[in-house]
Chains A and B, each alone.
Chain A
């Protein structure tokens, strides 16, 4: 279960809720019920984007540029995970992420799709498996336009504009990251 991290807010009931749903009365499975499994704000990529905001440098006139202004968002990526139960022992996991955007980065919206199934090797044991895939949700860092006076104006990595690196070289270090695209979850439970 993911805990709170930074400004991430989690309202999840996560796996325990999943268990509860699937272990519930067989009558529930007769209906196509959809349950909220998890809702939270923030993600590892959100945290990474926020981390890009650490630091800064001085411009030629000595004024300070803080990266923080470029890597903060008014809305933090929210993820909603749902479970639609199909049979007593199977369900479809699905959900979405809203994405987020700062001045110099973007996390695109995402969709999550997968399934959950369980079997009972014995009367008092349950084996569960879920597999989910995520589409979208990539983190893309945007370049800045740096004016070096007589030396010209370049498209640069905002964070490396004052380094010794050639302006065009800094673009190689723009962050392009993907979220966890597939997630496999296995669980075996014995009740005694």
Chain B
């Protein structure tokens, strides 16, 4: 077994950031790691206790730690609404509730040597894929506790007390055609799938960047993590729009984004959000999923007793379709996530 990531594919421009993928090979289809890593349930620190990015890298590599502590998130201190964010976010911050009491765990690449540049409105930075997705989620929900889980370790993802949100801006690709019951998941993905099944964590999964239906075949491969999450209570597939939609300026699916497809189980758990790469230099559904993770944290900070499934359903049930070009469930699933509506009552008297 080997684990790899693909940040650039084919003739797509280098600035295009594909979701990180952990490729699988081998006949037994066990998602594991060829180079065994010691699995430690290292304690995780909150964003407020962050060390700098280089220190974090050392922690990830040194001693074979499977879990990286949270690292410097330059933007978090600014807590400014950025141009790439939906206007909903600014409104959501007005009362000062920004994800407090909720833990977002970013399962991603925090240890590779692959870095790329972008700008979330706080200056150009060059960092790893996981550092980008973590920064984005923390900018949406700046009071949430952010954990970082390096996906190369394959150890089970642990949950924190209170509401948990897992951000998955990666896929698990292997040759197409296997049945799900043929797959032997590593403890990492097995734990994630279990949480989504039981509804113990909101799982925000990047839909993918191959312009196919979720779980579809591309280049002879499929994202089996997508397939494994279909129909799970608290899983949300997140596609990318090219802009944030409004009723007067409707948005359309980004050209690269995977779409919901004809499976109604996918449609009912598929959301889209604006990924304005023209402003950040960052494209891909990798940067759609952290927005939903941040939204879930903000909603969780309002409804402090809500379960992950309830938060998931709230986001899904309040998505807007009137902000999208030629809305269709097969393309946009439930529609564009609306934080303001997710926070509002169904009825009041």
When chains A and B are docked, how far (Å) is the Cα of A162 from the Cα of B314? Answer: 13
Alpha-carbon separation in the docked complex, A22 to B349 (Å): 53
List B contacts of A127 (CB < 8 A): none
Could you say which of B89-97, B149-157, B250-258, B274-282 contacts chain A? Answer: B89-97
**B317 and A144 within 8 A (CB):** no
CB pair A145–B349 under 8 Å, yes or no, is yes
Q: Roughly how many angstroms separate A62 CA and B336 CA in the complex, as a whole number?
A: 13
Q: Does A102 contact B (CB under 8 A)?
A: no
Q: A57: which B residues are within 8 A, CB to CB?
A: 340, 344
B302 within 8 A of A: yes
Indicate which residue in A58, A65, A146 contacts B341 across the interface (CB closer than 8 Å): A58
* B346 contacts A144, C-beta separation under 8 Å: no
A164-B94 CB under 8 A given contacts A144-B349, A150-B310, A151-B306: yes
> How long is the Cα–Cα vector from A39 to B94 in the complex, in angstroms?
42
Contact B313 A150 (CB under 8 A): yes
Which one of B92, B298, B311, B348 has the highest number of Cβ atoms from chain A below 10 Å of its Cβ? B348
| A59 CA to B318 CA, complexed, in Å | 10
A148, B314: Cβ atoms under 8 Å? yes
Contact call A163/B345, Cβ cutoff below 8 A: no
Q: C-beta contact mask, A141-184 vs B, less than 8 Å → 1, else 0?
A: 00011111111100010101111111100000000000000000
Q: List 21 A-B contacts (CB under 8 A).
A: A58-B344, A59-B344, A59-B347, A59-B348, A60-B317, A62-B341, A148-B314, A149-B317, A149-B346, A150-B317, A152-B303, A158-B348, A162-B340, A162-B343, A163-B95, A164-B343, A165-B97, A166-B302, A166-B303, A167-B302, A167-B303
B residues contacting A by CB (< 8 A) are: 92-98, 298, 301-306, 309-311, 313-314, 317-318, 320, 322, 340-349
Which 5 A-B residue pairs are closest in the complex by CB-CB distance?
A164-B97, A162-B344, A146-B345, A163-B95, A147-B347
